[in-house]
Amino acid sequence: MNNLELAQIFNQMADLLEMKEVDFRSRAYRKAARVLDSLEKDVAEIYQAGGIKALKEIQGIGQALAKKIEEYIKTGQIKAYQKQKKQSPVDIEALTNIEGLGPRKIKALYQKLGIKNVKGLTKAAKAGKIGKLEGFGPKSEQNILQGIKMAKIDKGRFLLGAILPIVREIISQIKELPEVKKISVAGSVRRMKETVGDVDILVVSSKPKTVMDFFTEMKGVIKIWAKGPTKSSVRLRAGFDCDLRIVKRESFGAALQYFTGSKDHNILTRRIAIKKGLKLNEYGVFSVKGGKNRRIAGQNEKQVYQAIGLPYIEPEMRTNTGEIEAGLANQLPKLIDYDDIKGDCHTHTEWSDSTGTIEELAKIAKQMGYQYLVITDHASPLGILHGLDEKRLLKQMAEIDKINKRVSGIRILKGVEVDITRDGSLTIKDEVLAKLDLVLGAVHSGFKLTKQDMTERLIKAMKNPHLDVIAHPTGRVIQRRESYQLDFPKIFKTAKQTKTALEINAHASRLDLRDSHIRQAVEAGVKMVIGTDVHSRAYFQMMELGIAQARRGWAEKKDILNSQPLKEFLKSF
């Protein structure tokens, strides 16, 4: 079972309770959701090892919540949640997916305009009814329409970070079967695309029926769309479809290349094969001389690319955005590796809006093999809960000095995530910022400024000599909030001049910068860092997503500052 699924249900229960203004229970569910999201072990494993008693030992989980978790593990649903959903007059799940709509606003829209679902919301917004309501206004109305548009575009797609653990669990189970000789995920998951529609898995096996029986009967399968000797398709409880294909050993590499895609990448590789008098498909690379098809490659991907005159192209690059041309010219970049990062430089603790202590985070980072960890709690008067002011920030610096003496094998660096105001100034005084190892600047309000105003806002911030990194530079939240508008050539020019790095925020719902912007930054000679934006211990694992994003943007190790050892990292700023 995936902890994220249960956390989402608890958040939705909190939304339903918040609509009823039962705040104390709503807070309990939200806290439980955060705890589940931060657990390193699957909650089902915890239950299997120790039952209800073990669940109650989890911080923030009492008897009532433990029973609900048990019910979900055993039945795949929670009756109380289903009952709440039935009793609710609105489609809370769909409406809270619209950017800017929380339970209280949804309740107001229902009470004043009778809005129950996205269809009713769209109709009311287009008719200009929402803009006239107290607490909304014309700007709110336009934002809602934009949010509806985004939700439609992303319908049926899932965050890579949500899908990846589920897919890996499926693969680990199938891999245990003695009948399975080879297995790999393909498609957009293997390309590490930020959102995924469905999942493709390839298997080599001499006993396909055994494998297909196991696959279609796995826990979590709620519908079998098709079942056959070489391909089966199922719908999983998490909401997405998964296809499993049995391929021959001699074709495994060709099938993996074909089903990994992308479609446009494959079209070009097939054209190159044809020009060389070859045929490329999911079964292999074939010589077609004399009217006969003779397989010359197919067992592994490297041989497939080599056979058509190309070097191996990493899956993350297969997007038909110049990788074929670069390969033919022998100019492919040596992408940053998944084990190159030496430290996380965007983390939050209980000092602001997270749950972990500085020492706890440092110990986790040490276990991950990091040399350093930058603590960057929020310093924000603009709405971030418990944002630090100068006095508390100085107190935290002194605390970090003490912890550095207690914890060996890793260096805790002093940092902050400071707000960039509308006029481009920072919300902490320069004399305090000067004492820090790393200063992240971020936009947390005023997302609707014009392109010119937002660009000038960030440029002014970058000209502050104490600002080192622009965090989540475009402000987007995937499937919920679009990027704010920026003049990127100007941003890159100023970043290079001021030696300001841009963050690749690795959080699954941000992945900001986008891969296209990363590539532009690389070409402009702008340095970047990858940060997980830690708000619970589970966030550390998202570093992989940030590295994947960097790879999709053709970034090399030299482009990412926190791939450097501690001494060189500090010199960079």
3-state secondary structure 13-73: HHHHHHHCCCHHHHHHHHHHHHHHHHCCCCHHHHHHHHHHHHHHCCCCCCHHHHHHHHHHH
**Is the CA virtual torsion 460, 461, 466, 467 positive or negative?**
negative
- Confidence (pLDDT) at 482: 84
User: What count of residues does the chain have?
Assistant: 573
Confidence class for position 2, pLDDT limits 50, 70, 90: low
Flag whether pLDDT at 383 surpasses 60: no
pLDDT at 385 over 60: no
| Tokens found for residue 483 | 């990027």
Main-chain phi, psi angles of 127, to 5 degrees: -85, -5
The pLDDT, as a whole number, for residue 384 is: 55
Side chain identity at 328, as an amino acid letter? Answer: L
The model carries a pTM of: 0.81
Query: How many percent of the chain have pLDDT more than 70?
Result: 96
Q: Which residue has the higher pLDDT, 559 or 95?
A: 559
Q: What is the mean pLDDT of the chain?
A: 90
CA 37, CA 32: separation in Å to the nearest integer?
8
Band the pLDDT of 565: cuts 50, 70, 90: very high
Q: Is 48 exposed, middle or buried (0-12, 13-18, 19+ CB in 10 A)?
A: exposed
For residue 3, pLDDT over 80 is answered with: no
How far apart CA 557 and CA 565 sit, in angstroms, is 12
Does the pLDDT value for residue 194 go beyond 90? yes
Mean pLDDT of 368-375: 96
pLDDT at 544 exceeding the cut of 70: yes
For the stretch 505-534, pLDDT in tens is 999 999 999 999 999 999 999 999 999 998
Using left for φ > 0, alpha for ψ between -120 and 50, and beta otherwise, residue 143 falls in alpha
* Residue 406 confidence (pLDDT): 92
Block residue for tokens 């949804």: 106
**Percentage of the chain exceeding pLDDT 90:** 60
What six digits make up the tokens of 202? 């390839």
Q: For position 60, what pLDDT does the model report?
A: 76
- Specify whether the CB–CB gap between 160 and 193 falls below 8 A: yes
The pLDDT, as a whole number, for residue 154 is 56
Higher local confidence (pLDDT), 48 or 390: 390
More confident site: 22 or 32: 32
- Average pLDDT of 6-26? 79
Residue 522 pLDDT: 97
What distance in Å separates the CA atoms of residue 554 and residue 211, rounded to the nearest whole number?
Answer: 37
- Which pair of structure tokens corresponds to residue 434? 């000067």
pLDDT value of position 153: 57
Confidence bin at 13 (pLDDT 50/70/90): confident
Token reading at 303: 């041989």
> What number is the average pLDDT over the span 460-483?
92
Q: What is the dihedral of CA 171, 177, 180, 181, to 10 degrees?
A: 100
| The token pair that represents 85 in the structure block | 């959903």
Helix (H) or strand (E) holding 10: helix 3-19
Spell out a b/e string for 50-74, using b for 16 or more CB atoms within 10 Å of the CB, else e.
Answer: eeeebbeebeebeeebbebbbebbe
- Please determine, for residue 386, whether its predicted confidence score (pLDDT) is greater than 80: no
Domains of the chain with bracketed CATH? 3-153 (1.10.150.110), 158-246 (3.30.460.10), 251-328 (3.30.210.10), 343-571 (3.20.20.140)
Average pLDDT estimate for 145-156: 70
Q: How confident is the model at residue 254 (pLDDT cuts 50, 70, 90)?
A: very high
For the segment 422-444, the average pLDDT, to the nearest whole number, is 94
Q: Is 523 left (phi over 0), alpha (psi -120 to 50) or beta?
A: alpha
Q: Token digits for 119?
A: 């269809």
Burial class (CB in 10 A: 0-12, 13-18, 19+), 268: middle
Three-state SS for 169-201 is HHHHHHHCCCCEEEEEECHHHHCCCCEECCEEE
Q: How many CB atoms lie within 10 A of CB 407?
A: 17
Q: What is the arithmetic mean of pLDDT over 110-122?
A: 88
Average pLDDT over residues 344-363: 88
Taking 60 as the threshold, does the pLDDT of residue 483 lie above it? yes
Q: Is the pLDDT of residue 501 over 90?
A: yes
Q: Tell me which of 218 and 28 has the higher pLDDT.
A: 218
Among 16-25, 346-355, 419-428, which is the least confidently predicted range? 16-25
- Which residue, among 338, 388, 341, has the nearest Cα to 365 in the 3D structure? 341
Q: Under 8 Å CB-to-CB from 123, ≥6 apart: which residues?
A: none
Query: Residue 23: its pLDDT value, please?
Result: 67
Q: What tokens appear for 461 in the block?
A: 């911030």
> According to the model, what pLDDT value does residue 155 have?
63
Side-chain half-sphere of 29: how many Cα atoms within 13 Å?
Answer: 21
Give per-residue pLDDT as tens, 293-343: 889 999 999 999 999 999 999 999 999 999 999 999 999 999 999 999 999
